Structure 1
């Protein structure tokens, strides 16, 4: 029973994009590991820029510095 947790920054990921991610990950686990789609769980968490850190600062600040 695979469980995959995808975390992305909260940038307006659409329902269609999420559906594609869920299907793609499910298909990949079936193709590579032979896991049954019916027992594969995929969870997508959207994280605010200020709650995701990189290089010692949150993503919002990091992007300001690197744009």
Structure 2
């Protein structure tokens, strides 16, 4: 019973995109490991950019700088 945990920043990911992630991750388990899709669990956590850091900075600050 695979459990796949996907963490992404909360930056306007659509429901359709989340469905594609779930479908793709499940299909990967089927293709690579021969797992049953009916018992494969996928959880998507959306993390606020203030709570996600790269290097020494919050993603919020990085995105603001990139927008300038």
> Unaligned regions of 5+ residues in structure 2, if any?
none
1:55–1:62 contact (8 Å) kept in structure 2 = no
Q: CA RMSD in A?
A: 1.0
Aligned residues: 66
Give secondary structure in 1 for the equivalent of 2:7: strand
TM-score by length of 1: 0.90
8 Å CA contact 1:7–1:47 kept in 2: the answer is: yes
Deviation at 1:64, TM superposition (A): 3.7
Hey, which bits of structure 1, 4+ residues long, moved more than 3 A?
none
Uncovered stretches (5+) of structure 1, i.e. residues with no partner: none
Is 1:37 matched with 2:37? yes
- The alpha-carbon deviation at position 62 of structure 1 amounts to 2.5
